[in-house]
């Protein structure tokens, strides 16, 4: 039997995980990436047990652990360093932090699909014989039996499937960096101020990832002040080691934080959305990439079982939509709490963190981290 051709648009976490998870021999996968190389930005990513179980199933878990740090304890602090609360995740899998390029590197190393750089997809056309023609920005075009839209929050493929406009900016921007230090903090932390926050995650051997947020306009420019001077103004008097981590970081990335209203209908005519293209979320739960991994795995399992059929696509959505929606809502809510500016509201928030026992915070959060898609009967 001739193999069916699947195009995966986007070589990010979702696209690569889908390609790795699809086990049926009936398909040839081709991954198309818009950028001129398959790679990731210089920032850290937290990977929780709900995604690590997939990596374990795919045989990548030990490779990933080699370059990752474990988040054994997460402290919630105020800007002067007072600890308001903490949580200590415990379970079958750890919570880890890893450089994005390292995670991506492991996924890439094991991917057997055909890979094409400089192949940004411009549009999709349906043909009379039930195929899909992808038109690329480089002028080429090619026919496929199915298209997986894994092209992130600004997805072109989502325009074809749902067409619900631009993502929604949520009122704050984020700076991120990775830095090598000569000290050991020993834990992760999230520090909350007034409309500003800083997170620190240990990667490995003195390397830390950090992020800092501030309520600002969409894509607000740091110039003419300059990013380092601005961050010093915003966070220079926050507790150790925040000022030195920021000051010692050579490359600082900045993004505006956006998501979309969770919307059903992730597939149309053999074109199916996964990852941020389907369910983008703000990063306040550290779950966007993890749910992208869950969803990519589930879709692959549904296709393995039901083929390139509506039944497969509907089953994937049935298993994953409510979950992704819940994470989207909870992340948005945590972002609002974290970015509060009203002094009374901040006082009450801090008090709540202070009086909530650690075991309760772990219990509240564990429902997001304890899902095991590898145990779901599709």
Ligand X SMILES: Cc1cc2nc3c(=O)[nH]c(=O)nc-3n(C[C@H](O)[C@H](O)[C@H](O)COP(=O)(O)OP(=O)(O)OC[C@H]3O[C@@H](n4cnc5c(N)ncnc54)[C@H](O)[C@@H]3O)c2cc1C
Interface contacts to ligand X, rule CB under 6 A: 9-15, 32-35, 45-46, 120-121, 150-152, 156, 174, 176, 255, 275-277, 283, 286-290, 292
CA dihedral (145, 151, 155, 161) positive or negative: positive
| SS percent in the chain: helix, strand, coil, step 5 | 35, 25, 35
Q: Which residues touch 164 (CB under 8 Å, ≥6 apart)?
A: 158, 260, 261, 263
Q: Which is nearer to ligand X, 227 or 309 (CB)?
A: 227
Q: Which is nearer to ligand X, 49 or 85 (CB)?
A: 49
Write down the least CB distance from residue 156 to ligand X, Å.
4
- The dihedral region occupied by 223, where left means phi > 0, alpha psi between -120 and 50, and beta the remainder, is beta
Give dist(CA 22, CA 316) in Å, integer: 13
Q: Which is nearer to ligand X, 15 or 105 (CB)?
A: 15
> Which tokens in the block code for residue 41?
């930005």
Q: Up-side HSE of residue 324: CA atoms within 13 Å toward CB?
A: 32
Q: Which is nearer to ligand X, 27 or 369 (CB)?
A: 369
Does 224 sit behind a cis peptide bond, omega within 30 degrees of 0 on the bond before it? yes
Give dist(CA 203, CA 356) in Å, integer: 27
Helix (H) or strand (E) holding 345: helix 343-355
Write down the least CB distance from residue 179 to ligand X, Å.
16
Write down the least CB distance from residue 287 to ligand X, Å.
5
Write down the least CB distance from residue 332 to ligand X, Å.
13
Write down the least CB distance from residue 45 to ligand X, Å.
4
Residue 368's SS3 state is: helix
Write down the least CB distance from residue 80 to ligand X, Å.
25
Q: Which residues touch 45 (CB under 8 Å, ≥6 apart)?
A: 97, 98, 99, 100, 103, 209, 286, 289
358-369 vs 310-338: helix axis angle to the nearest 10? 150
Does 5 sit behind a cis peptide bond, omega within 30 degrees of 0 on the bond before it? no
Write down the least CB distance from residue 1 to ligand X, Å.
29
Q: Which is nearer to ligand X, 6 or 9 (CB)?
A: 9
Write down the least CB distance from residue 6 to ligand X, Å.
14
Q: Which is nearer to ligand X, 192 or 290 (CB)?
A: 290
Write down the least CB distance from residue 351 to ligand X, Å.
27
DSSP line for 230-289 = HHHHHHTTSSTTHHHHHHT-S--EEEEEEE----S--EETTEEE-GGGT----GGGS-HH
Q: Distance from CA of residue 217 to its chain's centroid? A: 22
Q: Which is nearer to ligand X, 11 or 350 (CB)?
A: 11
Write down the least CB distance from residue 132 to ligand X, Å.
14
Q: Which is nearer to ligand X, 38 or 353 (CB)?
A: 38
Q: Which is nearer to ligand X, 165 or 343 (CB)?
A: 165
DSSP letter assigned to residue 2: P
Q: Which is nearer to ligand X, 149 or 241 (CB)?
A: 149
């Amino acid at each position: 039997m001739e193999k069916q051709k699947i195009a995966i648009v986007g070589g990010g976490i979702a696209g690569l995980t889908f390609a790795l998870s699809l086990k049926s021999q009936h398909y040839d996968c081709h991954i198309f990436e818009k950028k001129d190389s398959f790679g990731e930005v210089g920032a850290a990513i937290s990977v929780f047990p709900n995604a690590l179980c997939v990596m374990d199933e795919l045989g990548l878990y030990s490779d990933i652990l080699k370059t990752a740090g474990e988040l054994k304890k997460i402290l919630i602090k105020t800007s002067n360093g007072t600890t308001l609360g903490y949580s200590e995740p415990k379970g079958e899998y750890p919570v880890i932090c890893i450089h994005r390029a390292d995670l991506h590197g492991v996924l890439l190393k094991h991917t057997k699909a055909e890979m094409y750089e400089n192949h940004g997809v411009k549009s999709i056309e349906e043909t009379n014989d039930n195929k899909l023609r992808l038109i690329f920005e480089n002028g080429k075009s090619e026919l496929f039996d199915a298209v997986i839209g894994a092209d992130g929050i600004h997805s072109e493929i989502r325009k074809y499937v749902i067409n619900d406009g631009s993502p929604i900016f949520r009122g704050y921007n984020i700076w991120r960096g990775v830095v090598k230090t000569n000290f050991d903090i020993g834990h992760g932390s999230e520090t909350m101020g007034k409309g500003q926050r800083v997170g620190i995650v240990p990667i490995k051997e003195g390397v830390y990832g950090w992020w800092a947020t501030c309520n600002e306009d969409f894509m607000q420019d740091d110039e003419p002040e300059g990013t380092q001077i601005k961050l010093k103004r915003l966070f220079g008097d926050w507790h150790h080691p925040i000022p030195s981590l920021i000051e010692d970081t050579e490359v600082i990335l900045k993004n505006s934080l956006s998501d979309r209203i969770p919307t059903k209908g992730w597939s149309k005519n053999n074109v199916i959305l996964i990852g941020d293209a389907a369910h983008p979320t703000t990063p306040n739960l550290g779950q966007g990439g993890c749910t992208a991994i869950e969803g990519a795995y589930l879709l692959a399992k549904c296709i393995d079982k039901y083929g390139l059929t509506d039944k497969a696509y509907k089953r994937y959505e049935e298993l994953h939509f409510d979950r992704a929606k819940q994470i989207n809502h909870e992340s948005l809510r945590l972002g609002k709490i974290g970015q509060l500016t009203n002094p009374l509201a901040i006082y009450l928030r801090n008090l709540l963190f202070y009086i909530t026992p650690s075991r309760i915070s772990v219990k509240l959060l564990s429902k997001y981290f304890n899902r095991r898609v590898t145990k779901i009967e599709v």
